[in-house]
Amino acid sequence: MIGVRTTSSGVELGRARYAEPEVALLFAFDGFSSAARLYNQVAPSFGDPEGLRGATLALARAARRTDRLITTSDAQAARAVAAKWDAIRQDVLRLMESQNITSSEIEDR
């Protein structure tokens, strides 16, 4: 939606100029995507509840940073992804609920 594609050789930009809100969104999506990939890899192997809760908390914090940008950005791309992002937000909220994580725990400190 913002003209960025992942290819086998890296990232391909679809245009030459990006405004600051779009760049911030790109970095937020990348951060959340990395956190989600790591969570998916490590969460199944945690044998202790504290480890799983900590991983879920880290994922939720990454989602919160991304959510904050999507909901406050004036970038057209933010509006374009808002509906699809809501489904991801709901998934993260379910994970938080499963670990008894409150919203106040994920706010930036």
Q: Which residue has the higher pLDDT, 14 or 92?
A: 92
For 16, what's the count of Cα atoms within 13 Å in the CB-facing half-sphere? 0
For position 9, what pLDDT does the model report? 62
Q: What angle do CA 27, 95, 30 make, to 5 degrees?
A: 10
Q: Give the helix/strand (H/E) hosting 4.
A: strand 4-7
What pLDDT, in 10s, does the model give residues 49-65? 999 999 999 999 999 99
Residue 109 has pLDDT above 60, yes or no: no
> Pick from 73, 12, 6: which is nearest to 33 by CA?
6
The neighbour count for residue 49, using CB atoms within 10 Å, is 10
What's at 64, amino acid-wise?
R
Residue 106 has pLDDT above 70, yes or no: yes
For position 99, what pLDDT does the model report? 95
